[in-house]
Amino acid sequence: MSTPDLTLQVRRLCADGYRLYDSGNYRLALRSFYQAWLLIPKPQTEYVEAGWVLTAIGDAYFRLGQFEPGCESLVSALCCPQAEQSPFLQLRLGQCLWQLGRAPEARKYLFHAYQASPDLLDSEPSCYLQAIADLVSND
């Protein structure tokens, strides 16, 4: 369903957003990500690009400490094609859930992220790896 033009426009806006994100300007990054979201035709969940954008939105909300909207974006991203396969999405969703005190759900997503890409948790605070330590030792 995606077109090369749509993909290019979404990638450009997301790249702009991640430049802002990388400089610590998460609020302005969100603007770029939401601009990309508005380009995606309805129903957005039929487009792989929607998964990219929703993951970026959830990531920015996580960095802002706004875990509830971060969680909502990331859960929505899971409904998009191929997004479920993203270890990063699983990581961020697990982290948002953990910060919201939803430990059982958080552990599930953190463990999926760990299984898919163990190194992904290396640069994250140790509390997330500790949250799944008993699952990792049984893996």
Give the pLDDT band of residue 29 (cuts 50, 70, 90). very high
CB neighbours of residue 136 within 10 Å: 16
Instruction: With a cut of 90, say whether residue 137 has pLDDT above it.
Output: no
Please tell me the distance from the alpha carbon of residue 75 to that of residue 52, in angstroms, as a whole number: 12
Residue 139 has pLDDT above 60, yes or no: no
Q: Residue 134: its pLDDT value, please?
A: 85
pLDDT of residue 120: 95
Kindly list the domain boundaries of the chain, sorted by start residue. 1-85, 87-139
- Name the pTM for this structure: 0.94
Written out in words, the top-level CATH class of the domain with range 1-85 is mainly alpha
CA distance 60 to 86: 16
